[in-house]
Structure formats: structure tokens, C-alpha cells
Amino acid sequence: MARRFIPLTEVSEILDISADQAYALVRTGDLPAIKVGGRGQWRVETVELEAYIQRMYARTRELVAHDRP
């Protein structure tokens, strides 16, 4: 069974970014996440990560289309 939530360390590995950059995505609201447990560990729902990736693809397509003559 696939996991529903993943920690920010895995998000950073999947996106090939630093842990600080992953945390910044959560803090700005670009990537929805929740805090769980007594220590307030951040977790990202895998469907939210996939939605973020799809939004970035769409944004990139728009940028590329805009740059074309």
C-alpha cells in the first residue's frame, strides 16, 4: 500500500532541491502540508505533491509559450 503522506526530506529528494527549499515551498503555501505529532513534523500528502508538480509543468509551458516569437 502506498503511503499517503511523506516527510519534507523525501519531498526534497523527489524534487531534487534542498530541505530548506522544500520547507520554503510549504511556508509560502505553494505546497500544502500538515504538521503532525508532538514535535510538529511536516508531512506532504502525495497527491498534493503531484498537484504541485503538475502546476509547475503548466507554469513552465506558459513561460515557454510566452517566450516564443
Per DSSP, which regions of the chain are E strands? 5-7, 34-36, 41-45
State the average pLDDT over residues 2-28: 97
Please determine, for residue 26, whether its predicted confidence score (pLDDT) is greater than 80: yes
- Residue 19 vs residues 34, 50, 63, 65: alpha-carbon distances, Å: 16, 18, 26, 31
Fold of 5-67: Multidrug-efflux Transporter Regulator; Chain: A; Domain 2 (1.10.1660)
Domain spans, the chain: 5-67
State the average pLDDT over residues 30-48: 96
Burial of 40 (0-12, 13-18, 19+ CB in 10 A): exposed
State the average pLDDT over residues 24-45: 96
pTM above 0.85, yes or no: yes
Q: Are the C-beta atoms of 6 and 33 separated by less than 8 Å?
A: no
Task: Give dist(CA 69, CA 4) in Å, integer.
Answer: 43
